[in-house]
Structure 1
Amino acid sequence: MRPIYAAEAAGELAARTFGAIARRQILALGFGASRIRDWKRVGRLHPTRYRGVYAWGRPDLPEKGGLAAGLLYAGRGSALDGLSALWWQGLLEHRPERINIASPRRASSCADLRILHPLRIERHVHEDLPVVDLARSLLVASAELEHNSLRLVLARADYDKDIPFSLRSLQEAIRRGPEGSRALRAAMAAHLPQLARCTSPLEIDFVLLCEANGITIPQPNVRKGRFVPDMTWEEARLIVELDGRDAHTSEAQRATDASRQKWLESLGYTVIRFSWGEVHFREAWVAGRVRALLAR
């Protein structure tokens, strides 16, 4: 194959995996080791941190390309696993430091890759990359997530209609007691769907405060006309607004808050505000005030 057409063929293959390409893929196209050396010399191929995997055309890969490179290293049939699978599906905010991958091959962990070798891998594609099934990823992640973090992931999975999930299927998956099932079973027993509607850590902390103090769980972020209050108890006509550490401090912000509160009060709601410090350091006082207003 002429060099220009060879480069086009390899480039098209790399484009399918977002700039990453494995040595075995190049060899499968019919090119030899000498062609790989030539492409490395002229800057078409750039080594990655994973042996036998290259970046095509430029040394840096986009985020999706970096994950694809890890999957190529792990071998055919691999998928994102554990925390990485949860994060890629939007169930965790922060990318894990290490990329967790389930592989049916003999690949070993290296660099920032943690390669796991389950007996069976059930996977599906999410945002162009393969991920293991939710039960598997939760079981693996349970060793690294606290109880309430697991509950948050469950709530988000239950809320997200694009993720194949049901509590019944999850219960079946842990029925025989695989590793991690105890923590996952405890999180399922304390399932709190309202966590999925929280849009900030402060909102999550407030919902958990209500739960810990035996207060009816509010509905987070339910739209009222042009506004979306943080917390609402519809039957009690009570709204709680939460002020983060750096929010609602300028004169303009306070004026906006006052206008918003006046409009909500015109609909018959009682509106109260709590700051980040009050939620975290005056829990009993916050709970008492909410409880008193709900009891009216």
Structure 2
Amino acid sequence: MYLVAAHHFTDAARIRGAVALTGGVADAQTALWWHGMVEDPPLPTTISAPTKRHRSPRYLAPLEIHRRDLLADDIEVVRGLSVTRRPLTLLDCVGVRSDATTLMDRSLQTAEVTVSSLTGALDRNAGRRGMAEARRVVEVVESDTESEAECEFADLMRAEGISGWETQLPIGRYRADFTWPEENLVVEVDGWAFHKDAVRFQRDHDKRNDFARRGLTVLAFTWHDVVNDPVGTVEAVVAVLRERRGAAS
């Protein structure tokens, strides 16, 4: 394999070379970048190579080779390169990237993928490494993600020993998801944006503005915040509680 002297060894050239060398398909984080779903090119280059090719080739850039035989429904050609389709690409990144579910949510919003395309890719690749965790995520997508997020948040507060909160407390004409009455703190927990239509978005916006006008501090978290960044979620709540409790003492 040669690179013409007039051409630079760009990230795209590195990935093209890896696919050609292995006879495989760009997958996971490499496919994510090739599809334009993230800005930063990945290292190592991730490739799905046929199981019959047992030899690991030497290459001048780091390679991560996944030995698996993909079906045609999970492969497409983008700008002349064979890559995994978006549904399988996103599923492959669950458990690998902390923002995988956020990227999946965004792709569902823009209709670049659908729930049925995700379940189809899951079924075709059932039993493969990482698919059990990906299946749990898709099951969340198919459910009431807002209720799921509220349950996750409540479990997180209990696990951290944070008390003093009430659920669904009436405030004016609304009910707050979580309220610390003594500290004038309200926490609103959202599901996946994919599930929220314009009417629900406006209602949540009006609800939080109403709470703020009443002098309440409002923190808002999504399912992704609670599940993927529990430490950050807890720290945000604790910071307000400490401030309020310190001021009252």
Establish whether residue 282 from structure 1 lines up as the match of residue 230 from structure 2.
no
Contact 1:85–1:131, Cα closer than 8 Å, also in 2: yes
1:232-271 mapped onto 2 (5 Å cutoff): 233-236=204-207, 238=209
Rg (Cα) greater in structure: 1
Gaps of 5+ in 1: 1-52, 193-207, 221-230, 241-264, 288-296
1:56-205 mapped onto 2 (5 Å cutoff): 56-58=4-6, 60-75=8-23, 78-104=24-50, 106=53, 108-110=56-58, 111-122=61-72, 123-146=75-98, 149-161=99-111, 163=112, 165-175=113-123, 176-191=126-141
User: How far 1:237 moved relative to its partner?
Assistant: 5.9
Q: Structure 1 pair 143/271, CA: closer, same or farther in 2 (3 Å)?
A: closer
Contact 1:80–1:130, Cα closer than 8 Å, also in 2: yes
- CA deviations over 1:157-192 (Å, ceiling 9, x no partner): 21344x3x2212322332444332221122123339
CA RMSD of aligned residues (A): 4.5
* TM-score calculated relative to the size of structure 2: 0.53
User: How far 1:81 moved relative to its partner?
Assistant: 0.8
Contact 1:91–1:156, Cα closer than 8 Å, also in 2: no
Q: Structure 1 pair 237/210, CA: closer, same or farther in 2 (3 Å)?
A: farther
C-alpha distance in 2 between matches for 1:187 and 1:219: 11
- CA deviations over 1:199-254 (Å, ceiling 9, x no partner): xxxxxxxxx8997365242998xxxxxxxxxx9933326299xxxxxxxxxxxxxx
**Percent identity among equivalent residues?**
19
C-alpha distance in 2 between matches for 1:234 and 1:219: 16
Contact 1:121–1:132, Cα closer than 8 Å, also in 2: no
Tell me the amino acid that sits aligned with residue 212 of structure 1: F
Residue of 212, 220, 242 corresponding to 2:153 = 212
For 1:12, the equivalent position in structure 2 comes to: none
Greater length-normalized contact order (CA 8 Å, ≥ 6 residues apart): 2
Q: Structure 1 pair 271/59, CA: closer, same or farther in 2 (3 Å)?
A: farther
